[in-house]
Amino acid sequence: MRNTPSRNEITIGMNVQIVQKHDQHTGALTDGKVRKILTSSNFHPHGIKVELENGEIGRVQNIV
């Protein structure tokens, strides 16, 4: 099982890799900087949902 970062490990402006909803079946990752943290709980099994500065939304898989 993969460990995704918890909410308290993610900060605004941080470089992360997310998986977008339409990429969940392939696992393709998208790089970007966090604009907004959308998940209110500290942990989510599929990753904390964020919005990147380019407007894309997905769940954080890795901190870069």
pLDDT for 2-48, tens place per residue?
689 999 999 999 999 999 999 999 999 999 999 999 999 999 999 99
pLDDT of 34: 98
Residue 61 is encoded by which pair of tokens? 């898989």
- Residue 54 vs residues 6, 33, 35: alpha-carbon distances, Å: 22, 8, 8
CATH class of segment(s) 7-63: mainly beta
Q: Please give the pLDDT value at position 13.
A: 98
The domain spans of the chain are: 7-63
What average pLDDT score do residues 49-55 get?
98
